Amino acid sequence: MFLLFDCNNFFASCEQVFRPDWRRRPLVVLSNNDGCVISRSPEAKQIGIGMGEPYFRCRERLDKARAVVCSANFALYGDLSERIMSILEQYLPDVRQYSIDEAFAEVGDSSGGIDWEHEARALRRRIRRWTGITVSVGMAPTRTLVKLANETAKHRPSCRGFLALTSPAEWEPLLAETPVDDIWGVGRRLAPRLHALGIRTAAGLAAADLERLRRSFGVHGERLALELRGQSCLEDDVNPVRSQIMVSRSLKEGISELPVLRETLCRFVEKAAATLRRHELMARNIFVVLRTSRFEEEAMSYANSVGCPLPSPSDDTRLMTRAAAALLESIYKPGYRYKKIGVILNGLEPVAAVHPTFEHPNIEPDPLMKVLDALRQNGHDIHFANRGSQLPWHRDHVSRLYTTCWDDIPEAH
DNA sequence: TCTGGGGTCCTAGGACCC
DNA sequence: TCTGGGGTCCTAGGACCC
């Protein structure tokens, strides 16, 4: 059996933890540049604010409802997430974090004599008391079913935050009333294609012919049906090494000049390289992506990306900066207003697993990088000069770093 | 006027090997 | 004129997720 813990309205809930006066009010969290709504309190959902809706389109409605508007504060969300994950790990075996706000746990079947409903409810209360965040819990024999159990637990008041689907008798009625579009793994492309085959509900997908699903949708379709029948076939993620590191931003005003783009890119390379070293990895390849606005008319739009192998597997910011700058120059075209730029590192390997070759007999982390990282970790704001000083993005409604910055510690009066 | 950021997996097709 | 069968590896693109 799997348990799935998923935080309710996570980013919005984080914002409310240290602001009791913001609770039970419409509240939204916005993406970078205060562009889109990425999290909503129940009250904000109630007044019709959509997930992913551009802020400029719902601003009036939000103002009218006297809603709280927050810029994303990932330092806060990440810290609360870590606290919640560590509570789960303390009380459960085999916890696997799946995203910033959810985690699976494998608990074997119920024959162990443990009352998992009781345990899960106790954990919900504990997380609520220790972090201020409400989680919902599902229980089922496959990841796809446990997702559905969790979602249902979240929206049915009678579940009070927990739902177990442990036998076909329990999940089949639910599958019959669940649109196939709501199943985990069915997105906006797959849904219409399933409809075209006459498959409209989760039950319909579960009952569909496996051969036919395989032909139409590949192994993905076949697995979906098996998972809904209670046969677990999604692999546990056995590779703990992430496969890429990406840093990118949309640029508020848009940038046309190569030198300014280069400065911004250097800033991202520095960040990506630091992440790489924090995970004790080295990268083999580097990619640069560059594009104008997705909503630009065709004549004014341009998007391109290009990559190359690094001279040798590396975690050296300087080496990557040189490579990235050359890549940027190779795809940069003057005359466009660029709205997004980013860097991707891939071909990642743990430092310890990188083999020396005849060409590169000494592949080792650079001591200078270690010194820089250590200085930064101790609070020194030290950076390469090539990153420039202007931030080409901005946020108007940033909340405080309540849990990660001494100056922002909440005060009690 | 204003529209996020960061991931994973699968598949098809090409290059190359014997 | 006729031109096999079986592999691996890599990449780009598409789909999905939060």
Using one digit for the tens of pLDDT, what is the confidence trace for A352-377?
887 776 667 777 888 999 999 999 98
Domain A7-75 shares a fold with domain A89-228: no
CATH classification code of A89-228: 1.10.150.20
User: For chain A, what are the domain ranges?
Assistant: 7-75, 89-228, 244-387
Looking at domain A244-387, which CATH architecture does it have?
2-Layer Sandwich (3.30)
pLDDT at residue A236 greater than cutoff 80:
no
Distance A288 CA to B16 C1' (A): 28
Structure tokens of A189?
């492309």
Distance A234 CA to B10 C1' (A): 13
Structure tokens of A127?
């997380």
Please answer whether residues A363 and A313 qualify as being in contact, where contact means their C-beta atoms are separated by less than 8 angstroms.
Answer: yes
- Closest nucleotide to A151, Cα to C1': C18
pLDDT at residue A238 greater than cutoff 70:
no
Please answer whether residues A110 and A1 qualify as being in contact, where contact means their C-beta atoms are separated by less than 8 angstroms.
Answer: yes
Sign of CA dihedral A163, A166, A172, A173: negative
- Closest nucleotide to A189, Cα to C1': C15
CATH classification code of A7-75: 3.40.1170.60
Distance A35 CA to B1 C1' (A): 13
- The residue that leads in pLDDT, A27 or A115, is A27
pLDDT at residue A205 greater than cutoff 80:
yes
Contacts of residue A7, Cβ cutoff 8 Å, sequence gap at least 6: A13, A81, A84, A101, A102, A133, A134, A135
Calculate what percentage of chain A has a pLDDT beyond 70: 97
- Residue A125's pLDDT band, with cuts at 50, 70 and 90, is very high
Q: Is the CB of A90 under 7 A from strand C?
A: no
What does pLDDT average to over chain A? 92
Please answer whether residues A373 and A279 qualify as being in contact, where contact means their C-beta atoms are separated by less than 8 angstroms.
Answer: no
- Closest nucleotide to A238, Cα to C1': B8
